[in-house]
Amino acid sequence: MSRKTENTAFVCENCGRPVPPLTNGSYRNHCPFCLCSKHVDEAPGDRASDCGGVMDPVAVLFRPGKGWQIVHRCRRCGAERRNVAAENTEAPDDGALLRALAAEPRREGTEKQERRKTRRG
């Protein structure tokens, strides 16, 4: 658990933009521009996973007292992780993207609903 080495700048594997480290005392685990993350942890911060897949933001939840949480799902193995959104920092998470995701129903639920809607014939 060496927080100093975790909170470093990196280049987003999804959008290719350089991501600066957080300045709010926490450490960055996802891209503020496209909200994608990378599957490197088994438990948050442990860097124990060797999957390395890009994780897409699939939902955003608002937790009173905790703020925004982003649900990430790994493209490679399907693992899901919740991460606190980056706020009050240099390069915070894109607020418009967060709100758009929060307004959307969870993508994993749509398949079942579609089937119900289009079933008939």
Binding window for Zn ion (CB under 5 A); candidates: 3-11, 65-73, 74-82, 107-115: 74-82
Cα 70 to Cα 119: distance, rounded to the nearest angstrom = 32
Please say which residue, 52 or 63, places its beta carbon nearer to Zn ion: 52
Which residues, in sequence order, are CB contacts of 5 under 8 Å at separation 6+? none
- 39 binding Zn ion? (CB under 5 A): yes
Task: Pick one of 59, 74, 85, 101: the residue that binds Zn ion (CB under 5 A).
Answer: 74
Residue 77, token pair as written in the block: 């193995």
x/- mask, Zn ion, residues 18-37, rule CB under 5 A, reads: -------------x-xx-x-
Q: Is 14 in the site for Zn ion (CB under 5 A)?
A: yes
Locate 33 and state its tokens: 């521009």
Write down the least CB distance from residue 38 to Zn ion, Å: 9
Among 2-10, 61-69, 71-79, 90-98, which window interacts with Zn ion (CB under 5 A)? 71-79
Upper half-sphere CA count for residue 47 (Cβ side, 13 Å): 8
Planar angle of CA 24, 35, 60, nearest 5 degrees:
90
Which residues fall within 8 angstroms of residue 98, CB to CB, at 6 or more apart?
35, 60, 68, 70, 85
Instruction: Note the residues at the interface with Zn ion (CB under 5 A).
Output: 12, 14-15, 31, 33-34, 36, 39, 51, 53, 74, 76-77, 79
